[in-house]
Amino acid sequence: MKNLLILHGAIGSKSQFNSLASLLNNQFNIHLLNFSGHGGEAFKENFNIPQFADDVLAYLKQNKIESIDIFGYSMGGYVALYLAKHHPEKVGKIITLGTKLSWTPDIAAKETKMLDAEKMEDKIPTFAAILKDRHYPNDWKTVLEKTANMMITMGNKNVLKDEDFKLIQHTIKLLLADNDEMVTYEETNHVAQLLPHATFELLPNSKHPIEKVDIDALSEIIRAFYS
């Protein structure tokens, strides 16, 4: 069976993909990892896309995997594309889902407003409790703060630019939930046009949060793409 690495999104963890993994593990050797600082993993000196790419490289080395196909959700998809650009020999085919590809100072400012820990505790305490549990023993508020800082940095200097996408030669599918409230059709389609070997597809009956994605439909797309 083929190896398939599933990469989680910002403020997420690998545990969010247990259901998807269970739907796919009869066809793939599923690999899940937590990026540093997420899911209880220790923080590294850096908290950014290059560091998370290094986390993947370390995982592949530890598990003696030369190259691997990747499904990357949200930020995980961005990490997959970064790896394809900077370590092309380590990556096979890629699917991204709900990956924010357009970053400007204004976009970063908008996104970071949703990472206010005090507002979360006040307005959505159940989700705050989930984050606290998800990242224990790390302080979930530190995860939010570091994520916000990373987004601000990306808004000022995106680590993947249009000219980078043009150079990526991997076979890629960019997926976007048809009701995604965070990532736009325009930005996803724009990058799909830049990538030499990419297709763009809408995932029906789905929203941005992985918990609100049609997992059955997603699993069928994954099966077909990597077969």
**pLDDT tens column, 181-216:** 999 999 999 999 999 999 999 999 999 999 999 999
Helix (H) or strand (E) holding 222: helix 215-226
Return d(Cα 136, Cα 182) in angstroms, integer.
26
Q: Model pTM? A: 0.97
The stretches in the chain having pLDDT less than 50 are none
Looking at residue 146, what is its pLDDT?
Answer: 98
Domains of the chain: 2-103+159-226 (3.40.50.1820)
Local structure of residue 138 (DSSP, 8 states): S
Looking at residue 227, what is its pLDDT?
Answer: 85
DSSP helix/strand/coil, 159 = coil
What are the tens digits of pLDDT across the range 45-66? Answer: 999 999 999 999 999 999 999 9
Indicate the angle between helix axes 75-86 and 49-62, nearest 10 degrees: 70
